[in-house]
């Protein structure tokens, strides 16, 4: 079982308390009415599926109920770090510090 750290509760809890919310840091089109059907489709459905570091949204459903972001390695399925929603994507130095 995976343990996921909620940055709001500041505790590691079992994965069954959380739900996956998709890829993090997806920017909504500035003017949706001027967006073509193909651009709108890509915004809604096309997501990155990298091998390695992936930025995700999660929700602590059976805890505080809040959304947060997580950095997860898709090769090892381990969470590198979690951080509060609305904060910018961590830089390489922060990722390295979290791994050690």
Total count of residues recorded for the chain = 100
The pLDDT > 70 percentage for the chain reads: 100
Q: Average pLDDT in the 19-35 region?
A: 93
Query: How far is residue 71's CA from residue 95's CA, in Å, rounded to a whole number?
Result: 8
**Rounded Cα–Cα distance for residues 91 and 68 (Å):** 17
Domain count, the chain: 1
Sequence-separated (6 or more) residues with CB below 8 Å from residue 99: 80
Please give the residue range of the domain that contains residue 45: 3-99
Q: What is the pLDDT of residues 58-73, one digit of tens each?
A: 999 999 999 999 999 9
Is the overall model pTM greater than 0.75, yes or no?
yes
Q: pLDDT digit string (tens) for 39-62?
A: 999 999 999 888 999 999 999 999
The mean of the pLDDT values for the chain is 94
State the pLDDT at residue 60: 98
Residue 81 sits in a domain of what CATH number? 3.30.2270.10
């Amino acid at each position: 079982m995976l343990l996921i750290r909620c940055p709001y509760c500041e505790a590691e809890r079992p994965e069954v308390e959380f739900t996956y919310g998709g890829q993090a840091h997806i920017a909504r089109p500035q003017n949706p009415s001027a967006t073509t059907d193909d651009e709108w489709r890509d915004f809604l459905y096309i997501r990155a599926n990298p091998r390695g570091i992936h930025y995700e949204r999660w929700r602590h459903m059976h805890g505080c109920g809040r959304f947060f972001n997580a950095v997860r390695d898709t090769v090892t399925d381990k969470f590198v770090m979690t951080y509060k929603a609305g904060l910018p994507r961590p830089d390489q130095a922060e990722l390295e510090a979290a791994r050690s």
